A and B are shown apart, each in its own frame.
Chain A
Amino acid sequence: MKKLLAASLGILSAVGGFVDIGDLVAAGQAGARFGMAHSWVLLLGVIAICAYAEMAGRIAAVTGRAVFDLIRERLGARMALVNLVASYLVTVITLAAELGGVALALQLASGVPYLLWVPVAGVAVWLVLWRIRFPVMERVFGLAGLALVVFAVALFWLPTDWAALGRSAVTIDDAGQGWGAYWFVAVALFASTVSPYEVFFFSSGGVEERWSAADLADARFSVLVGFPIGGFLALSLIATATVVLKPAGVTVSNLDQVAHPVVLAFGGVGLAIAALAFFAVTFGAALETGLSAAYAAAQYFGWQWGKRVSPREAARFHTVLLVSVLLGVLLLLTTIDPVTLTEYMLIISAVALPLTYLPILVVANDRTYLGDRVNGRWLNVLGAVLLLIIVAAAIAAIPVAIGTRMGQ
Chain B
Amino acid sequence: MRIQVSRELLDRQLVDVDGRLVGKVDDVEFALDAHGVPYLRTLLTGPGALGLRVGGRIGRMLVLTAERFVTDRPMVPLRIPYRLVARVDSAVWLRVRAEDLPTSPAEAWLRRNLIGRIPGAGRAGG
- Give me the interface of B with A, judged by CB distance under 8 Å: 7-8, 10-14, 20-24, 26, 45, 47, 50, 53-56, 58-59, 62, 89-91, 104, 106-108, 110-111, 114-116, 118, 120-126
Residues of A within 8 A of B47 (CB): 301
CA distance A80 to B91 in the complex (A): 17
Identify 12 new A-B residue pairs, CB closer than 8 A, beyond the known A72-B11, A322-B114.
A64-B91, A65-B13, A77-B11, A77-B54, A78-B56, A132-B125, A302-B24, A303-B23, A307-B124, A310-B124, A316-B106, A368-B7
Whether A367 is near chain B, meaning CB under 8 Å from some CB there, is no
Residues of B within 8 A of A309 (CB): 20, 124
Q: Is there an interface contact between B125 and A307, defined as CB atoms closer than 8 Å?
A: yes
Residues of A within 8 A of B122 (CB): 310-312
Query: Could you give 14 example pairs across A and B, Cβ below 8 Å?
Result: A63-B89, A134-B125, A301-B23, A301-B50, A302-B45, A308-B124, A308-B125, A309-B124, A310-B123, A311-B125, A315-B107, A315-B111, A316-B106, A369-B90
Residues of B within 8 A of A368 (CB): 7-8
Q: Is there an interface contact between A78 and B124, defined as CB atoms closer than 8 Å?
A: no
CA distance A319 to B69 in the complex (A): 14
Whether A331 is near chain B, meaning CB under 8 Å from some CB there, is no
- Give me the interface of A with B, judged by CB distance under 8 Å: 63-65, 69, 72-73, 76-78, 80-82, 130-134, 298, 300-305, 307-313, 315-316, 318-319, 322, 368-369
Q: Is there an interface contact between A131 and B125, defined as CB atoms closer than 8 Å?
A: yes
- Whether A133 touches B126, Cβ cut-off 8 Å, given contacts A81-B54, A316-B110, is yes
Secondary structure of the B contact surface, majority rule: mixed
Q: How far is the CB of B64 from chain A (nearest CB, A)?
A: 14
Q: Is there an interface contact between B110 and A319, defined as CB atoms closer than 8 Å?
A: yes
Residues of A within 8 A of B110 (CB): 315-316, 319
Q: How far is the CB of B1 from chain A (nearest CB, A)?
A: 15
From B10, B11, B59, B108, name the one whose CB has the most chain A CB atoms within 10 angstroms: B11
Nearest residue in B to A72 (C-beta to C-beta)? B11
Residues of B within 8 A of A76 (CB): 11
Q: Is there an interface contact between A130 and B118, defined as CB atoms closer than 8 Å?
A: yes
Q: How far is the CB of A328 from chain B (nearest CB, A)?
A: 18
Cβ 8 A contact of A312, one of B13, B20, B26, B121: B121
From B7, B20, B107, B118, name the one whose CB has the most chain A CB atoms within 10 angstroms: B107
The 4 A-B residue pairs with the shortest CB-CB distance, nearest first, are A302-B24, A307-B125, A63-B90, A315-B111
Q: Is there an interface contact between A81 and B58, defined as CB atoms closer than 8 Å?
A: yes
Residues of A within 8 A of B55 (CB): 78
Cβ 8 A contact of A64, one of B7, B50, B58, B90: B90
CA distance A298 to B23 in the complex (A): 9
CA distance A318 to B54 in the complex (A): 25
Q: Is there an interface contact between B21 and A318, defined as CB atoms closer than 8 Å?
A: no
Residues of B within 8 A of A312 (CB): 111, 115-116, 121-122
Q: How far is the CB of A115 from chain B (nearest CB, A)?
A: 26
Cβ 8 A contact of B11, one of A73, A307, A311, A316: A73
Q: Is there an interface contact between B90 and A302, defined as CB atoms closer than 8 Å?
A: no
